[in-house]
Amino acid sequence: MNTRFLLVGTIVGAIALFAWQTVSNAVLPWHMATMRTFPNDSASTASAEAIRAVASENGVYLSTRGVLAAVSLRADLGDKSAEMGGMLARQFLLDLAAAFILSLVVMRLPAVGALAIGVTLGLAALALSGIQSFSDSIWYGFTYPYSIVNVLDNAIGATIAGVVLGTLLNRSRAKDAGVRAQGGVGMGAREGARMG
């Protein structure tokens, strides 16, 4: 096992994932375009109070009448954006865990180009995220546009991380394979021994 690649891949892969998520969530309008907001912020406070009255603690609530609610209210029912720093830190920790697993997966792939590795991870994410997101649409009423955006977001993130990890792994494999002659020809241990 290439421990150095695993360590560097985890850190760099997490940075790549986090960078894409920042662009996807803060720059591109596609996530917000799939959600509805309450009519005004003062109504949101009244809504939050009404929700807290029927959902005494944070969690996911379900009604057979077609209501699914993810409740994550602050104790004072205040604006959650005040907690942005903590949420970003937890997201980066999640990205570190995901990048570690992706690094393990990439290490098991044959020696191919970085783009091929990126496409492989992207397709895997497309399938797995599609199962999860569209199951939520089927069973819990998430809108199809919401699911499509999330599936594409995950597939793009995995593709970017895959290209980054593939590039790192290929450099690591080339370095481990032998030294490079001035002409750029890679020499393994066998060729080096014959020349010596």
- pLDDT tens readout for residues 124-159: 999 999 999 999 999 988 999 999 999 999 999 999
Give the pair of three-digit tokens for residue 73.
């209210």
On whether residue 168 sits in a domain, the answer given is yes
On whether residue 43 sits in a domain, the answer given is no
Number of structural domains, the chain? 1
- 3-state SS class at 190: helix
pLDDT at 82: 82
pLDDT at 196: 43
% of residues, the chain, pLDDT over 90: 56
Host domain of residue 167: 3-37+83-177
On whether residue 27 sits in a domain, the answer given is yes
* Residues lower than pLDDT 50 in the chain: 187-196
Contact 173, 110 (CB under 8 A): no
Cα separation, 57 vs 59, whole angstroms: 6
Q: What is the pTM of this model?
A: 0.79
On whether residue 21 sits in a domain, the answer given is yes
On whether residue 51 sits in a domain, the answer given is no
DSSP bridge partners of 69:
61
Cα separation, 175 vs 186, whole angstroms: 9
On whether residue 25 sits in a domain, the answer given is yes
On whether residue 186 sits in a domain, the answer given is no
